[in-house]
Structure formats: structure tokens, C-alpha cells
Structure 1
Amino acid sequence: MPELTVRPAGSSTEVPPPSRRAVQAAYASVVSATFGFIPLHATWALGIPLWAHEDRFREWYAVGGGPYLLVLSGLALAAGVLAMSLVRPWGMVFPGWAPFLGRRRVPHRSLAGTAFVVSAFLLLYTAWATVQLATDFDDDGIFSPWIVVYGIPQFLVWGIGLFIAARSYHRRTSPGRRAGPLG
């Protein structure tokens, strides 16, 4: 990928490109969100009880489990777009085709803040799931407890990758930015 230096509209300074590490972290976060999270949750949203206790799953699904899982999948897709925006030019300036926003600056604090909050949530959820796995590994829930063994590494990649990309974005776009190897 060629290194792009972006000059947001209304800005007299250029924003340096993200580091290779930040780009790799963002892509890892996107892959974790879209290919790690969405397929399994979309399978469940379609009513397929993969790695679930069928009777308990059917009861849960009948009272709104499907729409809930579709919303979660949509949020994961949005988190993937968020991660990419931290390392692509459209995270600095809205694309020209965007209604009402085209070619305007993206508010960098809002984008970086959202990414930091989502990353913190993902990492706190991962910590909670790890504690639950260690203290209450039973088979009484809807889903097999072994699903957490898959989910913990997937959420770690997602949360850490998003944090690294957000940190890079924040450092590169902040007034008085500091150049550095994590840039």
C-alpha cells in the first residue's frame, strides 16, 4: 500500500500516514470483527443452533434472539469500518459521495474517542469472559461453554488491534502531534 499523506480540508498541515504496525493492527481488527464474529453470529441469527443446546437455543431465539444477533453483527461490521477509517484517508476527510459531509474534515477526537471506547469495551468484555470461564465453566447456558475458548482470542485481536490503530490515529491527527515509531 503506498503511503498517503493527507491534508484535510481547511487544514494547513498534512497528516502523516499510519505506520505499518497500525495498518496491520487495523486489518487484524477488521478480520476479527468481520470474519471471526459475524459468520458465527449470523448463523445463530438464522436460527441454526451451532455449538448451542438446541432446546434452550430455540426458546431464547423465539423471544428475540435472532434480531439481537443481527444487531450485534451490524455493530461488528460498523466496528470494522471504524478500524479501517483509522488508517485510510476517509478517516481524515469524508468521501465526496457522502451526503452533507462530503469532503469535510472528520472530527478526529470523535473518531479516536469512539475507537478507544469500543476497544476498552471489547477488552473489558474479554476480561469478564476469561473470569467467567475460570470460575463458572458449566454447561447450563444456551451455548456450549467451549465457545468462549474461541471467543477470547478473537476478541483480544479485535480489541488490541483497534486500540493500536486508534492510538496511531490520535497521535497522527492531534494538534502538536508527536512523531514516533508507533505513529
Structure 2
Amino acid sequence: MTDSVQPPPRHAVGAAYVAALAATLGFLPLHVIWALGIPLFADPDRFAAWHADGGGTYLLTLNLLAVLPAILALALVRPWGLRFPSWTPFWRDRPVPRLLLLIPGYGLVVVLGAYTVFAAFLAVQQRDAPDAIFDPWTGLIGIPHFIIWVTGLTIATRSYDLRTRPSADHATRSPALP
């Protein structure tokens, strides 16, 4: 499979790296601070109660899970997204089933896109809420970050989808117009 797959276009590689950076450097710093119990951009008393009541565990889980979309984004444009690396014990040098990356790729695009819309709505709704834990501006600042993340992941996933389609799909496509 990897021999017949074209390398990803430059824009898809760039988009994948942007998505990976958004998932790590864009998401993790503030969420790690919160997971450590530091109420940056939050009401200290409400934050402390929320953090002690499971918020810290929730944030730790989110931080650990943010690494997975970064790995996924890179797998969409790197050779190990086409063929399992030689160090993997059971799948060594076998082709990666395309759905193994496409389902989480497109699924994450949908989930992160929906979350972005929800976060925008919530930030506006809680703008002046007296019982809000976090400053609503953190949501508004995070929304562009999520839009960048979703866009990069969409481009990388679509590129992988097109590049890894079985050759029968390519034969049925109409040729490009001159």
C-alpha cells in the first residue's frame, strides 16, 4: 500500500503539524496549570471546590487525551501512518488499515467542531454569570485555537483519505479539466 500512495502535499503536512501543535502547545499549558490546582483566570474559591470535587482528575484526563490527537495528526502525514513502525511487536511493517486513522480523524473533527460551537455559546451565555468558575474570556480566547485545530485536522484527514483510497476509486474519478 505505501508504495502506491503519493506523499502528502505540503499544505497537508503543514496543517497536520499545526493541528498537532494546537493539541499540545495550544491546549496543554493552561489546562496543566488548572490540573495542578492553580486558579489562573478562575474564581479561586469556586475553582478550589470544583477542582477538589473531581475537576482536577477531569483536567488531568483531558491533558493526557490531548496527546492522542497530536499523534493522530502526525500519523496522517508521516510514513508510520501508512505502515506500522518496525518496533511495534505484532504489526511490524504491516499496512495500517486506513479506517484506523480516518474514523478517529473525521470523528475528532466533528467532536471538536461541535465543542467549539458549544464553547462559543457557553462563553457568551456565561459572560456575566456570577457563579462562573472560569473567566468567560478564556473560552473566547480558546475558540480561535480550536478553529485552527479543527481546520488543520480536517485538511490532514482529507488528504490522507484521498491519498489512501483504493485504486478502483481513482479509476472511477473523472479526469481534471484542462
TM over 0.5: yes
Which of 55, 61, 79 in structure 1 is aligned with 2:45? 55
Maintained 8 Å contact 1:93/1:105:
yes
Instruction: Give the AA of the match of 2:69.
Output: A
Give the partner amino acid of 1:144. Answer: D
- Partners of 2:49 and 2:124 lie apart in 1 by 27
One-letter amino acid of the counterpart of residue 112, structure 2:
L
Structure 1 residue runs of 5 or longer lacking an equivalent are 1-6
Match status 1:68 vs 2:58: yes
CA contact (8 A) 2:19 2:148 kept: yes
Equivalences, count: 171
Task: Indicate if the aligned counterparts of 1:112 and 1:166 stay in contact, CA closer than 8 A.
Answer: yes
Q: 1:104 is paired with a residue of what secondary structure? A: coil
Equivalent position SS for 1:162: helix
1:86 corresponds in structure 2 to 76
From 1, 26, 38, the counterpart of 2:16? 26
Identity of matched residues, %: 47
Contact preservation (8 Å) 2:126, 2:136: no
* TM-score (normalizing by structure 1): 0.87
Q: CA deviation at 1:160?
A: 1.0
Higher helix share: 2
Secondary structure in structure 2 of the residue aligned to 1:141: coil
Is contact 2:126-2:132 (8 Å) kept? no
Distance 2:75 2:28 in 1: 19
SS in 2 for 1:146: helix
Counterpart Cα distance in 1 of 2:146 and 2:166 = 31
Q: Does the CA-based 8 Å contact 1:123-1:160 persist in structure 2?
A: no
CA RMSD of aligned residues (A): 1.8
| 1:120-141 residue CA offsets vs partner (Å, 9 max, x unmatched) | 1111111122223334422431
Instruction: State the alpha-carbon separation in 1 of the partners of residues 71 and 27 from structure 2.
Output: 14
Q: Distance in 2 between matches of 1:134 and 1:66?
A: 25
Structure 2 unaligned regions, length at least 5: none
Q: Determine the C-alpha separation between the residues in 1 that align with 2:47 and 2:166.
A: 51
Matching residue of 1:156 = 147
Contact 1:57 1:142 (C-alpha < 8 Å) held by counterparts:
yes
